Amino acid sequence: MEPRINHLQIESQVHELLDYPVCTNQITSTIYQCSNDYTGEVNNDKEKPYNCPYSGSKCTATGDIRWLLQHLRNDHHVEMHDGRSFSHRYVHHNPKHLHHATWMLTLLDCYGRQFCLYFEAFHLKKTPMYIAYMQFMGDEEEATSFSYTLEISGNGRKMTWQGVPRSIRDSHKTVRDSQDGLIITRKLAMFFSADNTNSKELKLKISGRIWREH
């Protein structure tokens, strides 16, 4: 069964930053424009093709970052958002029936680079969990020059994660299994839910920010 869900939805908006206004157009039209900035350094390792980060679908496509961006947009219909700051609302219509490896991918474009934001439902042993984390579309070395935060908030509660994006050289499964992200049990997630009077539906607001360390 195709693991990408139809019972998990995303409603997103891009935050405008005061010091660095961003385009609020949520469509992916800037994808090619920003790719032009990617001159890359001449380095054989860095030019080694990357696997498609939409790996939950068992996609076997490989290519350079520029090609993968087009592929994600055209073949997987992944949304791209501009800006260093973001806020997403994930809606899980039937969290009581949490399927393993149910996930959602969004692309973020900032600093002329692209990041994969994953939100995934999975079982850790038998406990239903959610995890959110970021992966950098580039090599490991450059990935470490960025940091990010993710914050779940709602109903007077807040939980924050600060991390370093992992390169997409690591599969999303590798990152998930290493638990290198914001992890929350389903039980706890329900306390953050925008509307926990309707326990059938989980609405989780996750905001975050990416910045460059150097």
The residues of the shown chain that bind Zn ion, judged by CB under 5 A, are: 52, 54, 59, 61
Amino acid at 55: S
Query: CB of 77: closest distance to Zn ion in angstroms?
Result: 11
Residue 72 has phi, psi (to 5 degrees) of: -60, -40
Residue (74 or 179) nearer to Zn ion, CB: 74
Residue (78 or 204) nearer to Zn ion, CB: 78
Query: CB of 57: closest distance to Zn ion in angstroms?
Result: 7
Amino acid at 119: F
Residue (52 or 184) nearer to Zn ion, CB: 52
Query: CB of 51: closest distance to Zn ion in angstroms?
Result: 8
Measure the CA–CA gap between 183 and 71, rounded to whole angstroms: 29
Measure the CA–CA gap between 2 and 81, rounded to whole angstroms: 24
Residue 55 has phi, psi (to 5 degrees) of: -80, -15
Residue (101 or 164) nearer to Zn ion, CB: 101
Ordered strands of the 146-154 beta sheet: 8-14, 85-92, 202-212, 146-154, 157-163
Query: CB of 52: closest distance to Zn ion in angstroms?
Result: 3
Torsion sign over Cα 72, 174, 151, 22: negative
Residue (77 or 187) nearer to Zn ion, CB: 77
Query: CB of 49: closest distance to Zn ion in angstroms?
Result: 12
Whether the Cβ atoms of residue 133 and residue 114 lie closer than 8 Å to each other? no
